[in-house]
């Protein structure tokens, strides 16, 4: 029980933050002007761009958790890594779903091998491989160790992939950054709130998943105790 109490607080806090942020965000998205060139489909960007943040944040936390686990050998860091990976892959899936929807609506193609798309697809593959590695390694300590090494390698490869795809000429299609005045009036608020909502959603999901992890550990510990009593 003691392990979950601080998490509970975070859970409630992030739930509140999420609710407020999401409400404001939805309001501003609804009120945002329809883009002259792209039409209503442009509004999916208010989802797409924020979830990208979640996807990359997730992997960063996975690698961080893994690194801290290898350094400290404390189970809670491995729980962070596992939780961040599951939440992150969810966000990454959303990126890869909302992106093509928007692309089809505006450029007329579901997919192109452009820099950011390819980079995110590769991230997705690394996520999936990470989760499979965790599943298929026997022994939780070994799985934690192997997964940590893989996550660190995966993180190191993200900038390498960026340069690699750039080299292969993948910079072309994806729209450049939406800062610096390219945002029309009424678009700044929904974007900003979208980012905030994404962070709040990520935090909330992460905390809930951490709670599940903590409960599982607790259960394992009690089973071990019970086993010893019997033995």
Partner 1 sequence: MSALLRARGLAKRFGPLLALAPLDLELGPGQALAVLGPNGAGKSTLLRLLAGLARPSAGTLEIGPGSASRSRRRRAIGLVGHATFLYPALTTRENLVLTARLYGLDAPAERAQRMLAEEELLAVAERRAGALSRGLAQRAAIARALLHGPQLLLLDEPWTGLDARAAARLSRRLEAEQAAGRALVIVSHDLARVAGLAARALVLVRGRAAWLGPEALGDEKALGDAYAASVNRLEAAA
Partner 2 sequence: MNALVAILWKDLLSEWRSRDRVVAMGVFALLVVIVLYLAAPPGSGPEARAHVPGLLWVAWSFAGVLGLNRAFALELENEALSGLALAPVERGFLFLGKALASFVLLLVVQLASALAFALAFDLDLRPVAGRLALVAALGAAGLCTIGTLFSAIAVRTQYREVMLPLLLLPLLVPVLLGAVRATNALLLEGTLPWPALQLLLVTDGVFAIVSFLSFEVVLDE
Interacting residues toward partner 2 by CB under 8 A: 70, 122, 125-126, 129, 132-133, 136-138, 142, 145-146, 148-150, 152-154, 156-157, 160-161, 163-165, 167-168
Residues in Cβ contact with 124 at an 8 Å cutoff, skipping those fewer than 6 apart: 89, 92, 93, 96
3-state secondary structure of 39: strand
3-state secondary structure of 35: strand
Length of the chain: 231
The residues in 41-80 that bind partner 1, with binding defined as CB under 8 A, are 73
Residue 231 CB, nearest approach to partner 1 (Å): 5
Q: Is 212 in the site for partner 1 (CB under 8 A)?
A: no
Q: Answer whether 97's CB lies under 8 Å from 120's CB.
A: no
Distance (Å, whole) CA 83 – CA 66: 11
Distance (Å, whole) CA 33 – CA 91: 26
Residue 70 CB, nearest approach to partner 1 (Å): 12
- Partner in contact with 231, chosen from partner 1, partner 2, none, beta carbon below 5 to 8 Å by kind: partner 1
Q: Is 228 in the site for partner 1 (CB under 8 A)?
A: yes
Distance (Å, whole) CA 136 – CA 207: 25
Q: Which of 101, 140, 146, 192 binds partner 1 (CB under 8 A)?
A: 140
The residues in 120-139 that bind partner 1, with binding defined as CB under 8 A, are 139
Residue 73 CB, nearest approach to partner 1 (Å): 8
Q: Which residues bind partner 1 (CB under 8 A)?
A: 73, 139-141, 220, 223-224, 227-228, 230-231
């Amino acid at each position: 029980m003691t392990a979950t109490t601080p998490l509970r607080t975070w859970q409630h806090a992030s739930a509140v933050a999420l609710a407020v942020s999401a409400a404001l965000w939805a309001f501003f998205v609804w009120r945002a002007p329809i883009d002259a060139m792209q039409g209503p489909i442009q509004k999916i960007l208010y989802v797409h761009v924020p979830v990208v943040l979640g996807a990359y944040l997730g992997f960063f936390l996975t690698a961080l958790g893994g690194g801290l686990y290898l350094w400290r050998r404390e189970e809670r860091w491995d729980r962070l890594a596992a939780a961040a990976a599951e939440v992150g892959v969810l966000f990454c899936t959303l990126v890869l779903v909302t992106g093509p929807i928007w692309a089809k609506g505006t450029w007329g193609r579901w997919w192109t091998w452009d820099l950011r798309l390819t980079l995110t697809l590769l991230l997705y593959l690394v996520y999936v491989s990470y989760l499979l590695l965790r599943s298929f390694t026997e022994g939780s300590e070994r799985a934690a160790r192997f997964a940590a090494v893989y996550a660190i390698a995966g993180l190191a490869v993200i900038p390498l992939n960026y340069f690699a795809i750039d080299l292969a000429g993948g910079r072309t299609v994806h729209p450049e950054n939406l800062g610096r005045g390219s945002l029309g009036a009424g678009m700044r608020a929904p974007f900003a709130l979208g980012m905030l909502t994404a962070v709040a959603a990520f935090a909330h999901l992460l905390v809930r998943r951490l709670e599940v992890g903590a409960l599982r550990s607790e259960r394992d510990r009690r089973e071990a105790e019970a086993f010893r009593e019997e033995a």
